[in-house]
Amino acid sequence: MADTIFALSSGAVPSGVAVIRVSGPRTREIVECLAGRLPDPRKAMLARLVHPQTGEVLDEAVVLYFEGPASFTGEDVAEFQCHGGRAVVSGLLAVLGGFEDCRPAEAGEFTRRAFDRGRMDLTEVEGLADLIAAETESQRRQALRQMGGALGALYEDWRKRLIHMRAMIEADFDFADEEDIPGSVADEVWGEASELHDEIEDHLVRSKSGERLRSGLQVVLMGAPNAGKSSLLNAIAGRDVAIVTEEAGTTRDVIEVHLDLGGYPVTLVDTAGLRQTEGVVEKEGIRRAEEKGRAADLILWAVEPCGVAQDDPSAGLPEDMRANVPVWTVRTKSDLETLPKQDSSGTIVEIACSSKSAEGMTLLFNRLTRFAEETISLGEAPLATRERHRHYLKECLSGLRTAVDSHHLPTELRAEDLRRAADALGRITGRIDVEDLLDVIFRDFCIGK
């Protein structure tokens, strides 16, 4: 018999209400023992929870019972909505641990059971994890859609199409000796395979948006020491996150702030000012700054009024970043009189702003919001959201491509490539052996989920 597991599924105590969840074969017995009777499934029942040995009243709680398989895990599940005091919760958890074959749940174990019993596929599990982690409106929408099965359904549909193609080819193959049929079924199938290939390729291209939305856009503040980067970060974040002093080389560590720009997640990153230095700590800070810059979706290149050569505001920014990452020049400290609004080369300074007077800050904010919107706009179709998805989509494409292109090979071999393509999709949803992956995926969950 499987263990019956339990955990505090709501947030940290003390809280108004705490939800303790129980799942497994002993659930029914536990509810009857603590609450005196079993509520009707899915109907709330107010009950005094009584200690099974001493008869002492533990709490007055709302009890819910979900009979398996129509429950989150697919097993019998109960929820005790008790008062969220520390002693109430720890007392109840201790009593639950006293039942035979009953133990505290591990992180993600409720969801793992739901997956094992076929209540959710892997993309839905990931969607649930993303929903719990979602910080902005657009992340919530994407996660909810994925948890609802939209992405899994898309992959399952593609997989079925591949399986169907294979069946058609094999049928065709079986009848091959009954005289040559002109324009055989196989020819049609290769056409379909080629179409599916393009569909998946298109999905893969757009998947970058999904991943960015899930993890947030990385906007990295870079520039010479004292350019005003940390002040800008503080002004945008609306609080004193980073240390600001007039000393050049103040910031060494990478400092990140999570922003919600019009519902889009943006991580704004402050970094050490770039310069030649012998300081060990500062050197390391600069190395980290450049590492962040290379991985950025956007670099805000901060330039103070009299800071650098005026004819090339982005002098000092490493060449590879200039070439590969979008860069906006931000002219800082615009409250200082000396500010040239336009540099001598005639290049319009992208944005001029001041952390002191707040001049230009709204413009910067709006531009960033628009950038986020354009980079990660969420269309109607579900998007791949993880590196894991991308990996198997590529594998699927490679199988499809080989199958379509290998005109010279025997049909059996080409059919085998179609199987490889279908299996790759099955690994995304977890319908095909992914045992080694499961621990990684479920580890990300909190206890009680």
Ligand X SMILES: Nc1nc2c(ncn2[C@@H]2O[C@H](COP(=O)(O)OP(=O)(O)OP(=O)(O)O)[C@@H](O)[C@H]2O)c(=O)[nH]1
Where do contacts with Mg ion occur on this chain (CB under 5 A)? 229-230, 250-251
Partner that binds at residue 218, options K ion, ligand X, Mg ion, none, CB closer than 5 to 8 Å by kind: none
| Adjacent-strand bridge partners of 259 | 266
Report whether 194 belongs to an annotated binding site: no
Query: With binding defined as CB under 5 A, does residue 10 bind K ion?
Result: no
With CB under 5 A as the contact rule, the residue among 4, 207, 231, 250 that binds K ion is 250
Q: How far apart are CA 48 and CA 51, in angstroms?
A: 10
Given ligand X, K ion, Mg ion, none, residue 111, with its beta carbon under 5 to 8 Å by kind, binds none
Which residue do the tokens 């009680």 mark?
448
245 among annotated binding-site residues = yes
- Any binding-site annotation on 249? yes
Q: Report which of 311, 326, 360 is spatially closest to residue 222, judged by C-alpha positions.
A: 326
**Count of alpha carbons within 13 Å of 431, Cβ hemisphere only?**
13
Confirm or deny that 119 is annotated as ligand binding: yes
Does 305 sit behind a cis peptide bond, omega within 30 degrees of 0 on the bond before it? Answer: no
Beta strands across the sheet bearing 327-331: 255-261, 264-270, 217-223, 298-303, 327-331, 351-352
**Is the separation of the CB atoms in 110 and 449 below 8 Å?**
yes
Q: Which stretch binds K ion (CB under 5 A): 20-28, 182-190, 222-230, 370-378?
A: 222-230
Between 247 and 319, CB nearer to ligand X = 247
> Does 420 carry a binding-site annotation?
no
The dihedral sign for the CA sequence 195, 199, 200, 201 = positive
Shortest Å, Cβ 232 to Mg ion: 9
* Residue 216 contacts which entry, Mg ion, ligand X, K ion, none (Cβ below 5-8 A, type-dependent): none
Q: Which residue of the chain is nearest ligand X when measured via CB?
A: 273
Please state the closest distance from residue 308 (CB atom) to ligand X, in A. 13
Q: Contact at 8 Å (CB) between 265 and 274?
A: no
12 is in an annotated binding site: no
Nearer to ligand X, 29 or 335 (CB): 335
CB closer to Mg ion out of 61 and 303: 303
Stretch near K ion under the rule CB under 5 A, chosen from 62-70, 243-251, 426-434, 436-444: 243-251
Q: Is 250 annotated as a binding residue?
A: yes
Nearest 5 degrees, angle CA 41-CA 46-CA 48? 120
Q: What are residue 84's DSSP bridge partners?
A: 15
End-to-end CA distance of the chain: 21
Residue 231 is a binding residue for K ion (CB under 5 A): no
231 annotated to a ligand binding site: yes
* CB 311, min distance to K ion, A: 25
For Mg ion, the closer CB: 163 or 237:
237
Query: Please, which residue, 125 or 221, has the CB nearer to Mg ion?
Result: 221
Q: Is 449 known as a binding-site position?
A: yes
Token code pair at residue 390: 């991308």
Rounded Cα distance, 251 and 235, in Å = 16
226 binds K ion (CB under 5 A): yes
With CA atoms as reference, report the closest residue to 203 among 218, 43, 356, 211: 211
Name the residue type at position 94: A
Q: Least separation, in Å, of the C-beta of 311 and ligand X?
A: 21
Q: How far is the CB of 234 from K ion (least distance, A)?
A: 12
Report whether 247 belongs to an annotated binding site: yes
137 is in an annotated binding site: no
- Within 355-394, the residues that bind K ion by CB under 5 A are none
Q: Is 70 annotated as a binding residue?
A: no
Quick one: 148 or 249, whose CB is closer to K ion? 249
Q: Toward ligand X, which CB reaches closer, 192 or 253?
A: 253
Paired strand residues for 103 = 5
Phi-psi region of 77 (alpha: psi -120 to 50; beta: other; left: phi over 0): beta
CA distance linking residue 442 with residue 107, whole number of Å? 7
Cβ within 8 Å of residue 89, ≥6 positions away: 8, 13, 18, 20, 82
Token digits for 120? 């959710």
Residue linked to tokens 């992959």: 155
214 in Cβ contact with 226 (< 8 Å): no
The residue among 244 and 372 lying less far from K ion, judged by its C-beta, is: 244
CB under 5 A: which stretch of 130-138, 197-205, 248-256, 414-422 binds K ion?
A: 248-256
Site residues, ligand X (CB under 6 A): 223, 225-231, 244-246, 248-251, 272-273, 332-333, 335-336, 354-356
Q: Which is nearer to ligand X, 84 or 316 (CB)?
A: 316
Cα-to-chain-centroid distance, residue 217: 12
434/92 Cα distance (integer angstroms): 36
Chain positions contacting K ion, by CB under 5 A: 226, 250
Please state the residue numbers annotated as binding site.
21, 79, 119, 226-231, 245-251, 270-273, 449
Please state the residue numbers annotated as binding site for GTP.
226-231, 245-251, 270-273
Please state the residue numbers annotated as binding site for (6S)-5-formyl-5,6,7,8-tetrahydrofolate.
21, 79, 119, 449
Please state the residue numbers annotated as binding site for Mg(2+).
230, 251
